[in-house]
Amino acid sequence: MAIVRVNRHDGIGMTSERTRLRMVDRLREKGIKDVDVLTAMSLVPRHVFVSEALSIRAYEDTALPIGFGQTISHPYSVARMLEVLRNGQDLQRVLEVGCGCGYQAVVLSKLAREVYSIERIASLLGQARRTVRSLRIANVKVQHGDGHLGIPDIAPFDGIILAAAGVEAPPALLAQLAVGGRLVMPRGVGESQQMVLIERQADAYHEQVLEMVHFVPLLPGVA
C-alpha cells in the first residue's frame, strides 16, 4: 500500500522533520523493523497532538499528558503495536479503541485503508477531531462511545488495537474481529500489564503474550 504523506507542519528545533527522523532512528535501534511503520511514524508530526508547552518533548520516547487523566503513548509502544497488528500485511479496516489525542489513529491512517476510532471522553474526542481535520486526513473516522462495545455496524475489522489496558479482551471486540484478523492490546492492571496479540481463526482464538507495557486503564461507559 502506498503511503500518502500528511502535511508536515515542519518547524524548527524539536518540531522539525529532522527531529522526527531521529525519533525513528531510535525506534529502529530498539528493534522496530517494519519499514512502513517507521515511515508512517516519520511522517506524522507528534508535536501537534500535545500542548505547546510540551511540544519540546514530543519526540522523546515517553508518554505525555493530554488532559482528562489521559496520555499520548510512547512512540515505541505505538510503533510496536502497529508492527504486530500489521504483521507485514496491508490493513483494510481497522478499529482503534481509545482515540485520545488522535496521534495513533493518524499514524494508522498511513497503514490502513479505513480507520475507525472510539473515544469515551467527549471533550478529548473534540480536540482529536480538530487535529485530524487540520491534517486533512480523510480515512479516519472518530466517534464518541464505549470502546468495550466496538462498532458492530461497521464490523468486521481485520485489525483492532486498544490504547488502554483491560483485564481481558472485551467479548464484543472479539466478535467484531474478522476471521484471520488480529487484535493487539495491553492487558492487566497497574504495573502488571502485558502486550497481547489475539488472532481469530476459523474455530478459535489464538493468544500470544509479547512484552511488558504500561497504559492507562480501559474504562467502561462515556464521559
- Number of Cβ within a 10 Å radius of residue 170: 22
Name the pLDDT band for 18 (thresholds 50, 70, 90).
confident
Look up residue 127 and give its three cell numbers. 480536540
- Evaluate the CA torsion angle 97, 99, 104, 107 in order and state its sign: positive
Q: List the chain domain ranges.
A: 65-213
Residues 181-190 pLDDT 10s: 999 999 998 7
Question: According to the model, what pLDDT value does residue 1 have?
Answer: 43
Long-range contacts of 199-202 (CB under 8 A, 24+ apart): 200/174
Query: Is residue 10 over pLDDT 90?
Result: no
Compute the distance between CA of residue 198 and CA of residue 29 in angstroms, rounded to an integer.
26
Question: According to the model, what pLDDT value does residue 141 have?
Answer: 96
Question: According to the model, what pLDDT value does residue 5 have?
Answer: 37
Name the pLDDT band for 155 (thresholds 50, 70, 90).
very high
Query: Is residue 15 over pLDDT 70?
Result: no
Look up residue 156 and give its three cell numbers. 468486521
- Topology at the third CATH level for domain 65-213: Rossmann fold (3.40.50)
Question: According to the model, what pLDDT value does residue 9 have?
Answer: 41
Query: Is residue 12 over pLDDT 90?
Result: no
- Evaluate the CA torsion angle 213, 217, 220, 221 in order and state its sign: negative
Question: Who wins on pLDDT, 11 or 194?
Answer: 194
73 is catalytic: yes
Q: What is the DSSP letter of 73?
A: P
Question: According to the model, what pLDDT value does residue 131 have?
Answer: 94
Name the pLDDT band for 40 (thresholds 50, 70, 90).
very high
Query: Is residue 7 over pLDDT 60?
Result: no
Question: According to the model, what pLDDT value does residue 112 have?
Answer: 97
Annotated catalytic residue within 42, 51, 55, 73: 73
How many residues can be counted in the chain? 223
Helix (H) or strand (E) segment spanning residue 104: helix 103-109
Give percent above pLDDT 70 in the chain. 93
Compute the distance between CA of residue 54 and CA of residue 184 in angstroms, rounded to an integer.
28
Query: Residue 195: beta bridge partners?
Result: 186, 211
